[in-house]
Amino acid sequence: MPDFPLPLMIFAAGFGTRMGALTADRPKPLIPVAGRALIDHALEVGQRAGVSRTVVNTHYRAGQMAAHLAGRDILISHEAGQILETGGGLKAALPLLGDGPVAILNSDGIWTGANPLRELAAAWDPSRMEALLLLLPLADTLAHGPKGDFRLAPDGRIHRGEGGEDHVYIGAQILDPARIAATPDAVFSLNKPWTEMIAAGTAYGIVHRGGWCDVGHPEGIAAAEALLHSAQDD
């Protein structure tokens, strides 16, 4: 398989507070799902896509994360003093990621079906996009909640805050990091540049051809394992 054209950032620095006691002695990305650490599922997505450069950020129980990743061709962006949130974490990792667009995965997602990174790369158009987010219709998601994150327009642009948000962001995207690099703050969420990109008309979405489960809470473990089992049976 040819190399994936972009570097990959995997967010793995969070405290995992919604996991309760499960993260008392380990970081959330090391919680096992179907016999493997969560982060290994995300890393496999990258490997199957042909990613050649992967960066993982760490903060909470970073020593455990470093030990788990030791011996692999993975760069670590350690957030030592404070957790930087998603935008700040990406900004801090940019020297390791290099110039140009970046693919991003959350470490607490399970995807089945088409490879998320390959889907995004096939649809990415840097001449008109600053962001391309992978989405699912709200009705097709597992245990997400009653509200969606975005409305997906017929032209592929995403919108929010106007009602009718019937699509869910499922933790995979490609970003042009220019706005992130230019943000003066050290700690900020990607929601800030997303809002700016939506206003500029440069934020787009595509619908994933497969399933997804958020493993951000204990109930998500069983749901993710059921999803994986169902995918094996297909």
In a domain, 1, yes or no: no
What is the per-residue pLDDT for 234? Answer: 61
What is the per-residue pLDDT for 232? Answer: 83
Per the CB < 8 A criterion, the answer to whether 105 and 10 are in contact is yes
In a domain, 136, yes or no: yes
What is the per-residue pLDDT for 191? Answer: 97
Domain hosting 96: range is: 8-233
Query: How far does CA 217 lie from the centroid of its chain?
Result: 16
Count of domains forming the chain = 1
In a domain, 95, yes or no: yes
In a domain, 140, yes or no: yes
What is the per-residue pLDDT for 163? Answer: 87
- 72 vs 65: CA distance, rounded Å: 12
Torsion angles phi and psi, residue 174, rounded to 5: -120, 135
Residue-wise pLDDT tens for the chain (234 aa)? 458 999 999 999 999 999 999 999 999 999 999 999 999 999 999 999 999 999 999 999 999 999 999 999 999 999 999 999 999 999 999 999 999 999 999 999 999 999 999 999 999 999 999 999 999 999 888 655 668 999 999 999 999 998 899 999 999 999 999 999 999 999 999 999 999 999 999 999 999 999 999 998 999 999 999 999 999 876
3-state secondary structure 154-181: CCCEEECCCCCCCEEEEEEEEECCHHHH
Torsion angles phi and psi, residue 203, rounded to 5: -105, 125
In a domain, 127, yes or no: yes
- 104 vs 109: CA distance, rounded Å: 12
What is the per-residue pLDDT for 141? Answer: 81
Domain at 137, CATH number? 3.90.550.10
Q: What is the pTM of this model?
A: 0.96
Locate 148 and state its tokens.
């969606």
- 141 vs 213: CA distance, rounded Å: 7
Q: What is the CA radius of gyration of the chain?
A: 17
Q: Looking up tokens 């972009």, which residue turns up?
A: 6
In a domain, 134, yes or no: yes
Helix, coil or strand: residue 97? helix
In a domain, 3, yes or no: no
In a domain, 137, yes or no: yes
Helix, coil or strand: residue 57? strand
